[in-house]
Amino acid sequence: MGIDAGFDMVPRLSKGAVDRQNWQSFIKIIKERYQNDDLVEVKPNYIVFKAGEHPMLPFEGHKFLRFSSKISGSHAKGVEEYIDTVTWVAKANFGSRVRYWNEAGDEWGFYNWQEVNDSFKSYEQPDEPEIPTSIAQYVFGTDTMSELNLQLFGIQLVPGKGKGLVARFNIAKGKRILYEKPFFTAPNLSPISLMESNIATKLKALSKTEQQQFLSLHNNFPGKHPFSGIVKTNALPCGPDSGIGGVYPTICLINHSCLPNAHNSWNSDTKCETIHAIRYIKSGEEITISYDKGGPSDSRRTHLKDAFGFDCNCSLCSLPLPDLQISDARRLQIQLLDNAIGDPDRVMNKPDDCLADCHCLLQVLEEEYKGSAGVLIARLYYDAFQISITHGDQARASVFAERGHRSRVICEGEDSPETRKIKNLMENPAGHRNFGASKRWKTAKGLVPKGLDTDGFEKWLWRQGR
């Protein structure tokens, strides 16, 4: 008997070039780290740590299932430190594929001992070399990237920002990068002592590992209320304008950019947060999301400092002053247009002006965000949809809904409640609550013109030249 702890690799690595290379660099880091440690011996086919039950790391990563040992009793001396360090390095290389468990915290390994012992036996004898039959097999082992559920990012130190997520592969626009359950969700309570005790209660309900993960998150507000400080630094709102925030093991390692390449969204059905690429992300590029609501650099800076406690050094905020001023002017214009479009009296009485503002906003967003305005575009099309449907124009409304739907899928995926909502409206625009408030622009859904060239169609859609 005794208490075991360690980590499992779930899913196990493939024989493909990508996994092979990642495992080799992981082994290289381990070898370098322990080169002067007499208790860590490099054998022909694996590394053995001569403490506890002598956990091993094979040189062939696809054989590896578990790194663990008993951590209780006198013979276990020193092994816990090896387990902690190797787990940490493995996590940095393989992310959530590395599942740490500790029987002291009622956590158990993923694989059964029969599977694990068989894997240990296979370490001694290297495999016969295989000739891959396809590029996919060579690169990915036996399957494609998605089927293998490859983690698209690694956790790395990013200059000036602490830890961050960096793409390990080229990531296509619209690709789901992460889907994660929060440790917990919590409201922003006042006074702070109340918030602290509320979080303490939620923390107690977590496993030991989760508690450790939570406590290892960055805290910009150290002092008398450490739990609240961690939540304030890391929590992401559970939906736009929600006063409830969620704290996540991996998503909370994503840094902010005022010009992000990914979008975070709360799925109120599954109670999970998703991260999607909103533009093509190159391998090696940092993955970023936006923590704030935009606006010119001054107001962004103030908000990020007050709400999250840091000074932003993203690529936009680091622009030379003349360039930053151009961006600031556009951000201000975006805010003004957004406010004007959202005015219900104007939607009712000056719909042509509102639609013209939507068109103008679309152009400014494209310029400012270099074609990657993400969810701002989805919202804009929803606004244009609402203006059209309020005045009975089902034809235009269905086109705007279709465009809004396309943008939502990119930012949030098909399973997002927001995506489903706009999809329903695309199919049945008259189902919107404002339909019929006015008949000013009345059209049937089927009256979308056919045979126009792109310019002609855009002119029709935005009611230009009337």
Ligand X SMILES: C[S@@+](CC[C@H](N)C(=O)[O-])C[C@H]1O[C@@H](n2cnc3c(N)ncnc32)[C@H](O)[C@@H]1O
Give the max Cα distance, the chain: 87
* Binding-residue total with ligand X (CB under 6 A): 20
Query: Could you tell me the smallest distance in angstroms from the CB atom of residue 301 to ligand X?
Result: 10
Among 55, 164, 229, 245, binds ligand X (CB under 6 A): 164
Binding residue (CB under 6 A) for ligand X from 233, 264, 327, 388 = 233
Number of alpha carbons in the 13 Å side-chain half-sphere of residue 362: 18
Our finding on whether 161 is near ligand X (CB under 6 A) is: yes
**How many residues in total does the chain contain?**
466
Q: Does 171 bind ligand X (CB under 6 A)?
A: no
Q: Shortest Cβ distance from residue 324 to ligand X (Å)?
A: 15
Q: Write down the least CB distance from residue 254 to ligand X, Å.
A: 6
Contact call for residue 88 and ligand X (CB under 6 A): no
When the beta carbons of 83 and 251 are compared against ligand X, the nearer one is 251
Stretch that binds ligand X, among 262-270, 311-319, 355-363, 367-375 (CB under 6 A): 311-319
Closest approach, Cβ 382 to ligand X, in A, equals 28
* Residue 262 found at the interface with ligand X (CB under 6 A): no
Least distance in angstroms from the C-beta of 121 to ligand X: 40
- Separation between Cα atoms, residue 423 and residue 426, nearest integer Å: 5
Q: Strands (DSSP E) along 306-460, which ranges?
A: none
Q: Is 165 in the site for ligand X (CB under 6 A)?
A: no
Between 132 and 237, name the residue whose CB sits nearer to ligand X.
237
Q: For residue 133, count CB atoms less than 10 angstroms from its CB and return exposed for 0-12, middle for 13-18, buried for 19 or more.
A: exposed
Q: Is 253 one of the binding residues for ligand X (CB under 6 A)?
A: yes
Should residue 220 be labelled a site residue for ligand X when binding is judged by CB under 6 A? yes
Which helix (H) or strand (E) segment holds residue 180: the answer is strand 176-180
Query: What are the residues facing 48 on neighbouring strands?
Result: 41, 56
Q: At its nearest, how many Å lie between ligand X and the CB of residue 219?
A: 9
Contact 82, 49 (CB under 8 A): yes
Site string for ligand X, 103-142 (x = CB under 6 A): ----------------------------------------
As measured in angstroms, the least distance from the Cβ of 165 to ligand X is 9
Choices 100-108, 146-154, 270-278, 312-320 (CB under 6 A): range interacting with ligand X: 312-320
Contact status: 163 vs ligand X (CB under 6 A): yes
Among 68, 151, 213, 234, binds ligand X (CB under 6 A): 234
Q: Give the DSSP H or E segment for 296.
A: none
Rounded Cα–Cα distance for residues 82 and 33 (Å): 11
Single-letter residue type at 294: G
What are the two backbone dihedrals, phi and then psi, of residue 217, each rounded to the nearest 5 degrees? -70, 155
Q: How far is the CB of 257 from ligand X (least distance, A)?
A: 6
CB nearer ligand X, residue 152 or residue 251: 251
User: Using CA atoms, how far apart are residues 80 and 51, in angstroms rounded to an integer?
Assistant: 9
Which one of 46-54, 131-139, 188-196, 304-312 is the stretch in contact with ligand X (CB under 6 A)?
A: 304-312
| Full strand arrangement of the beta sheet holding 272-277 | 176-180, 272-277, 262-267
For position 325 contacting ligand X by CB under 6 A, the verdict is: no
Q: Which of 255, 290, 386, 419 binds ligand X (CB under 6 A)?
A: 255
Q: Tell me whether residue 160 or residue 456 sits nearer to ligand X (CB atom).
A: 160
- 344/433 Cα distance (integer angstroms): 14
CB of 91 to ligand X, least distance (A): 13
Concatenating the DSSP letter of every residue in 89-156 gives HHHHHHGGGEEEEEGGGT---SS-HHHHHHHHHHTSSPPPP---SSHHHHHHTTS-HHHHT---EEEE
User: Among residues 256 and 263, whose Cβ is nearest to ligand X?
Assistant: 256
Closest CB to ligand X: residue number: 162
Residue 314 near ligand X by CB under 6 A:
yes
- Alpha carbons 366 and 364: distance in angstroms, whole number: 5
CB of 90 to ligand X, least distance (A): 18
For the bound state, the minimum distance from the C-beta of residue 180 to ligand X, rounded and expressed in Å, comes to 13
Separation of alpha carbons 304 and 255, rounded Å: 12
**Closest distance between ligand X and the C-beta of residue 309, in Å?**
6
Report, in angstroms and rounded to the nearest whole number, the Rg of the chain calculated over CA atoms.
Answer: 26
Q: Which of 313, 333, 424, 438 binds ligand X (CB under 6 A)?
A: 313
One-character DSSP codes across 256-294:
E-SS-SEEEEEETTTTEEEEEESS-B-TTPEEEE--S--
Regarding 219 and contact with ligand X (CB under 6 A), the answer is no
Interior angle at CA 190, CA 184 and CA 196, nearest 5:
45
Which residues in 18-53 are b (16+ Cβ under 10 Å) and which e? Answer: bbbebbeebbeebeeebeeeeebeeeeebbebebbb
- Residue 218 found at the interface with ligand X (CB under 6 A): yes
| Cβ proximity to ligand X, 16 vs 164, nearer residue | 164
Our finding on whether 316 is near ligand X (CB under 6 A) is: no
Distance separating alpha carbons of residues 17 and 135, to the nearest angstrom? 10
> Which residues would be at the binding site for ligand X (CB under 6 A)?
160-164, 218, 220, 233-234, 252-253, 255-257, 308-310, 312-314
